[in-house]
Amino acid sequence: MTRISVATSASAPPDGSAPPAGSVTERPHPVSTQEISLGIESFGDEDAPLVLLVGGTTMLSWPDALCERLAGGRRRVVRYDLRDSGESTTADPQAPAYTLRDLAADAAALADALGGRPAHLAGIGVGGMVAQVAVLDHPGTFSALTLAGTRPVAPGPPDKDLPDHDRATMSRLFARPMPDWADREAVAEFAADGAEIRGDDPAAARAVAGRVWDRTPGSAPPVHLANQLGMVFSKLDCTPRWRERLPGIAVPALVVHGRRDPFFPVGNGEAIAREIPGARLLVLDGAATAIPDAAVDEVAEAMLTLGQNE
């Protein structure tokens, strides 16, 4: 286990002071940020340019194959769990004592601690919201931005020009009874069923859910909810709004979105790409909410090309 102590601040950018010395192994382990620990996993050469992948909410939202493909493109890839998920500090997912801007500050502090500043930051799902705010609040820390399957406003009703969650899909998802969170197989089957409803690969979702369950501390239902469904994010303070600040992003940006995404429909990704100057929009015709294996090479190539312009 490796720990790297760093300072974070939600109200101001890091002061630029050098982080304490430390090393990162190839296996998942926590990295301390202030009074919390963030679970991370590293791929590739530690001396290569850093690509930091924000979990949505756990690091396993980012496919193994994509991490390995990026590492094969001469990048150091680090994916990590948000607070209250995976191997990061878990306190009370029902009443989180932190904000979206705190999570953004975690990303900046982690980039500093890993010695990869400026880093290519990527966020998926709700992690994409963290990534947008992180680049806006800590502009000197990041050199490129990738946003996958996300939207430019916080959880809750979207702006009138943005498509909301598909109602029929949400009705089917939330009509299902919750599984016995102490039963790994029941949780995995619940995830597979949800993936089928969303249009994702049920087999892949079942496998990931099992891995997430194995990494979840304890058996408390709210903790499993936070890990499997990201429910903690709906309870966060996500003010102030950041959408109006998107035109101020000055780093190369890539927006990846599934054409069939019913949770954050593709119009959300299209809006982000319009509002970030020079952003490239990559729409995956066969994808829904997850990045499917068939799209890994296309997404990786787009991210690596973006990195070449850093």
Instruction: Tell me the pLDDT tens digit for each residue of 14-32.
Output: 333 333 323 333 456 676 5
Predicted pLDDT of residue 77: 97
* Residue partners of 222: CB distance under 8 A and separation at least 6: 92, 93, 94, 231
Say what the pLDDT of residue 14 is: 37
* Terminal C-alpha separation, the chain: 32
- What whole-number distance in Å separates Cα of residue 67 and Cα of residue 28? 13
Burial 173-186 (b: 16+ CB within 10 A, else e): beeeeebebeeeee
Measure Cα distances from 199 to 171, 194, 229 in Å: 14, 9, 16
Exposure on the CB side of residue 197, measured as CA atoms within 13 A: 18
pLDDT at residue number 170: 97
Q: Are 62 and 68 in contact (CB under 8 A)?
A: no
HSE at residue 179, side-chain half, CA atoms within 13 A, is 22
List, as own/partner pairs, every contact residues 284-288 make where C-beta atoms lie below 8 angstroms and the sequence separation is at least 24, other chains included. Answer: 284/256, 284/257, 284/258, 284/259, 285/259, 286/258, 286/259, 286/260, 287/258, 287/259, 287/260, 287/261, 288/198, 288/199, 288/200, 288/258, 288/260, 288/261, 288/262
Write down how long the chain is: 310
> What was the pLDDT predicted at 106?
95
CA distance 307 to 283: 19
Per-state percent for the chain, helix, strand, coil, to nearest 5:
40, 15, 45
Helix ranges (DSSP H) in the chain: 64-72, 100-113, 126-137, 167-175, 184-198, 202-215, 221-228, 266-275, 296-308
Cα dist from 269 to 44, 146, 246, whole Å: 29, 11, 13
- Please tell me the predicted confidence (pLDDT) of residue 5: 39
How far CA 310 is from CA of 131, 139, 305, in Å, comes to 17, 13, 9
In the predicted model, residues of the chain with pLDDT beneath 50 are 1-7, 9-26, 309-310
Question: Exposed e or buried b for every residue in 205-240, given b needs 16+ CB within 10 A?
Answer: bbebbbebbebbeeebebbbbbbbbbbbbeebebee
- Provide the pLDDT for residue 116: 74
Give the CA distances from residue 89 to residues 146, 158, 229, 271, in Å, rounded to whole numbers and listed in that order. 25, 30, 17, 33
Dump pLDDT digits (tens) for 238-268.
Answer: 999 999 999 999 999 999 999 999 999 999 9
